[in-house]
Amino acid sequence: MDVKQNLAEIAALIGEPTRVVMLWSLLGGQARPASELAFYANVSAQNASAHLARLVEAGMLEVEARGRHRYYRLAGAEVAHAVEALAALGASSKEAADLPPGQTPDLKYARACYDHLAGRVAVEICAALEDKSYIKPAAANFEITTKGENLFRDLGIEKVR
């Protein structure tokens, strides 16, 4: 399969509203049972199972059995990044009036998403670090400045990357 066809198939898979809600509900990194994802997406258990099976088959979700229940989680940070990136493309300058099912206002304000902070608090922290010259833009991410290295060392935070 070529890249264009693969991208088109993934976009179509993510573009279905029920699956968007399910993927969005899993951004926090925790596994959720199929029944909870069905509830958030406002679909029947059978309908949810069909959507979840497609996402598992595409490698976007992982599933594990716990007793009688099946729990789903995002297959990795790259799936979370893709969902968040698509959400950012659709974001408007004003706050959305309605949150996706399963997302409380607290999660929109601050949450962890796999290996990074997310939400408004994370954006404000990043802006403050940049304003004080602790970090600076670099390629597709940020670079820690010497001033930032000193701050983080004083706080007991070691450089991971």
Q: What percent of the chain has pLDDT over 70?
A: 80
Question: On the CB side of 66, how many CA atoms lie within 13 Å of its CA?
Answer: 9
Are both 87 and 135 inside the same structural domain? Answer: no
Are both 65 and 32 inside the same structural domain? Answer: yes
In this prediction, the residues of the chain whose per-residue pLDDT falls under 70 are 1, 90-116, 159-161
Q: What is the pLDDT of residue 107?
A: 55
Are both 10 and 59 inside the same structural domain? Answer: yes
Q: What is the pLDDT of residue 122?
A: 77
**Owner of token pair 């229940």:** 69
Nearest to 26 by CA among 52, 6, 7, 54: 52
Q: What is the pLDDT of residue 109?
A: 63
For residue range 38-54, list pLDDT tens digits in order. Answer: 999 999 999 999 999 99
Q: What is the pLDDT of residue 80?
A: 85
Are both 25 and 66 inside the same structural domain? Answer: yes
**Owner of token pair 């935070």:** 157
Give this prediction's pTM: 0.63
Would you say residue 107 lies in a domain? no
Q: What is the pLDDT of residue 132?
A: 93
- Other CB atoms closer than 10 Å to residue 17's CB: what's the count? 11
Q: What is the pLDDT of residue 96?
A: 43
Question: On the CB side of 101, how many CA atoms lie within 13 Å of its CA?
Answer: 15
Are both 31 and 89 inside the same structural domain? Answer: yes
Say how far apart CA 2 and CA 113 lie, in whole Å: 30
